[in-house]
Amino acid sequence: MLKIYGIKNCNSMKKAFDLLSELGLNYEFHDYKKQGIDADTLKKWLELKGESIILNKKGTTWRKLSEAEQQHALASEENLINALITHTSLIKRPVIQNDSQLIVGFNEDEIRLLK
């Protein structure tokens, strides 16, 4: 089953929802704001894609963190996972997962290959 993770009111998410609907792909939506995210899932994503792909440093949430908070988050994987759980907006969106793939960020070409 295709699962899409993110936040409902996000432009990248809206584009992903529209594209998945256009492709006729059924999916389950996991809303970070309402449902949170668990450490095991984040650990797997970080192992598969790496910190530079998962962590959204371009967003306002990252920029609002103090320099000390940013450095603390980057000091270890455990600290990063805790920061991502606390501030779910730090996770790039959308994250689309099925049995064999993990797509992070809106990439129309990769999403079209899911069909």
| pLDDT at 51 (0 to 100) | 96
Q: Which CATH superfamily is domain 2-112 in?
A: Glutaredoxin (3.40.30.10)
Q: What is the pLDDT of residue 11?
A: 93
User: C-alpha angle with apex 52: 51 to 56, nearest 5 degrees?
Assistant: 95
The three-state secondary structure class of 92 is coil
Quick one: pLDDT at residue 1? 86
At a CB cut-off of 8 Å and minimum separation 6, what does 50 contact?
none
Instruction: Spot the catalytic one: 4, 5, 6, 10.
Output: 10
Q: Is 10 labeled as catalytic in the residue annotation?
A: yes
pTM for the model stands at: 0.93
pLDDT of residue 50: 97
Residuewise pLDDT in 10s, the chain (115 residues):
899 999 998 899 999 999 999 999 999 999 998 999 999 999 999 999 999 999 999 999 999 999 999 999 999 999 999 999 999 999 999 999 998 899 999 999 999 998 6
